[in-house]
Amino acid sequence: MKSDNHISLHKRIRDFVAKSTPAIFQVCGDIIAIASALPVFLFLGFVTGFYTTTLPLSDETTLQTLVLSVMPLLVFYWMMLFWLSGLYRNWFVRSPFTEMFTVIRAVTFGSILIFLGILFTSANFRGFRLKIVLYAFILTILVVLIRVFGRMLQRFLRRKGIIKVPTIFMGAPDALLEMYTIIQENPSWGYTVQGVVLRNQQDFERWTAIAQQEASSIPILGNVSNINEIVLKERPTDLVVMMDGLDHRWMIDLVMECRELGIGVKIQPDLYEFFTGQARLLAIHGMPLIDINPELMKNWERFVKRAIDIVLSACVLILGFPFLLMTALLVRLDSKGPVIFKQTRVGKNGRVFTMFKFRSMVVDAEAGGQKWAVVNDPRVTRIGRFLRKSHLDEMPQFWNVLKGEMSLVGPRPEMPFFVDKFKKELPYYTRRLVIRPGLTGWNQIHYRNYQESIEEITNRLKHDFYYIENMSLQLDIEIIIRTVIRVFKGHGQA
């Protein structure tokens, strides 16, 4: 019985390790490094007398109490800062020097924040300057060393076949064979080829002719026309594309589907120009490949953007409650029907949610079917015309922002009917769904009319894609300021 339990425990541990991503090694390593940095710092400083201390550490019990009380706060502080600095992505495929410099920047920035905190809360901050520098140095050394050890451990586990990275190759036979040869020469990368996807019958014949020995046993999963079904069935960790001359719309659609499935996409540099804003040419294990990164903002920028959404929407809903109440009363007095208009919209990654607005049209406005509003729309009520002109009908959407269904800035959410319609006519339309929809956006501060047409949708997409490809806090602030100006000028469409 004990033997069976031992085997079962060993199997569970092995399965856990096999499924461990580089981020798990990084998180565990950082926890160890951060937790070790404080005792090492105290040993070098307070115990050895490297410098004198002004802290009341008269006995060992006091010292242990200090360590145990401060350590959880330090672990949380540095882990949060490292996450915001982007240190918990797949650094295993990147150069260790790039990772090391990122750690140095994060620790330096975090140490400056600590110094400023002490500066404004302590009268005797001069004595802390050397201590902060020493602590930052110790923390940096420990984090870097343990991360290097984590890399070495991952290489060992991958070389032994314990950690595997299932991968599908798609492209020209010669390029795929060359990539396969490189992978075979570097087992520490951990890549296991699930199969290849070829372009046409000529590629099938060429692959059969050049694939020898081990490569000949690689399954041929199909051709590029079936790639969507193949990735859905095989669920690889990575899809490596080694071909050019692809249809750009089709490739964007494939990247979007892989993103939803959690599959990483890496492509050869020839396609770089078609993924401006989503791709960077990186040295993946030393090879120049493009790593498609759907996270268009850095972690700290996304964190700040969401924090701004929460703070501003909460302030508007609380401080503006009397005004919202008065607006609701005017809507009720102007025409029969509910004050709040609810409508289903499509949000981030195609998730459907209920969007709220002050009702600006008659109750049966959509009796004849869903359609866009037009200039001088007869369905608009008297108070509704003012609300739409001033954009005040959108005020209840701050509740959607607070809930996380929307953001202050982003592409406007569309109704499912129109999303399905435009997806058929414009295959790359779904690319605008990679981020939260917004209360306002780049298109809203540039639009001229609401006429439903492919030309109008195409123009909208140009604006939406511009925002997606250039997302930043600076751009968000600019859009918010321009929106406020438009609200006061009454440029909304009625």
Residue 118 lies in a domain: yes
Q: Say if 50 falls within a structural domain.
A: yes
Average pLDDT over residues 358-381: 66
Q: Rounded to whole angstroms, how far apart are CA atoms 229 and 245?
A: 21
Q: Please indicate, yes or no, whether residues 171 and 146 belong to a single structural domain of this protein.
A: no
Look at residue 398 in the predicted model and tell me its pLDDT: 94
pLDDT classification of 176: cutoffs 50, 70, 90: confident
- Which has more confidence, 63 or 255? 255
Residue 90 belongs to some domain of the structure: yes
198 and 321: one domain?
no
Work out the percent of the chain whose per-residue pLDDT is above 70.
Answer: 76
Closest C-alpha among 483, 340, 310 to residue 407: 310
Residue 351 pLDDT exceeds 70: yes
* Pair 319, 468 in one domain: yes
Domain boundary among 159, 191, 208: 159
Asked whether residue 273 falls in the same domain as residue 406, the answer is no
Q: How confident is the model at residue 6 (pLDDT cuts 50, 70, 90)?
A: low
The distance from CA 310 to its chain's CA centroid, rounded to whole angstroms, is 18
Residue at a domain's end among 237, 263, 292:
292
pLDDT exceeds 50 at position 273: no
**Which stretch of 22-31, 86-95, 103-112, 366-375 has the lowest confidence by average pLDDT?**
366-375
Coil vs helix vs strand at 69: helix
Statement to judge: residues 360 and 438 lie in one domain: yes
Residues 434 and 410 in one domain: yes
398 lies in some domain:
yes
137 shares a domain with 20: yes
pLDDT (0 to 100) of residue 44: 79
> 196: buried, middle or exposed (CB in 10 Å: 19+, 13-18, 0-12)?
buried
Identify the CATH number of the domain in which residue 224 sits.
3.40.50.1980
pLDDT digits over 11-20, tens only? 565 555 555 6
- Tell me, yes or no, whether 309 and 366 share the same domain: yes
Structure tokens at 137: 């140095």
Mean pLDDT value across the chain? 79
Domain total for the chain? 3
- Domain membership flag for residue 433: yes
Q: Is residue 494 part of a domain?
A: no
pLDDT single digits (tens) 429-478: 777 888 899 999 888 887 655 555 666 677 777 788 778 877 888 788 88
pLDDT tens, position by position, 287-322:
555 566 555 677 788 888 999 999 999 999 999 899
Pair 363, 406 in one domain:
yes
Is the domain of 13 the same as that of 60? yes
User: Tell me: the pLDDT tens digits for 198-240?
Assistant: 888 888 888 888 877 667 778 888 888 888 889 888 889 888 8
Q: What is the C-alpha separation between 473 and 297, in angstroms, rounded?
A: 9
End position of a domain, from candidates 292, 310, 334: 292
Please state, in angstroms and rounded to a whole number, the distance separating the CA atoms of residues 92 and 150: 9
Q: 340 and 275, same structural domain? A: no
Q: Quote the pTM value.
A: 0.61
Q: What is the DSSP string of 276-317?
A: TTTEEEEEETTEEEEEE----S-HHHHHHHHHHHHHHHHHHH
The answer to whether residue 425 sits within a structural domain is yes
Q: Does any domain span residue 188?
A: yes
Residue recorded with tokens 């050019």: 244
**pLDDT digits over 383-411, tens only?**
878 888 777 888 999 999 999 999 999 99
Question: How far is 347 from 353, CA to CA, in rounded Å?
Answer: 7
**Which of 154, 156, 148 lies closest to 32 in space, CA to CA?**
148
Q: Would you state the pLDDT for residue 277?
A: 44
CA 66 to chain CA centroid, Å, is 37
Q: How confident is the model at residue 84 (pLDDT cuts 50, 70, 90)?
A: confident
- The DSSP H or E segment spanning 481 is helix 473-489
CA torsion sign for 99, 105, 110, 115 is positive
Rounded Cα gap, residues 347 and 438, in angstroms: 9
Tell me which amino acid residue 120 is.
Answer: F
Domain that holds residue 237: 165-292
Regarding whether 175 and 155 lie in a shared domain, the answer is: no
> Residue 123: beta bridge partners?
none
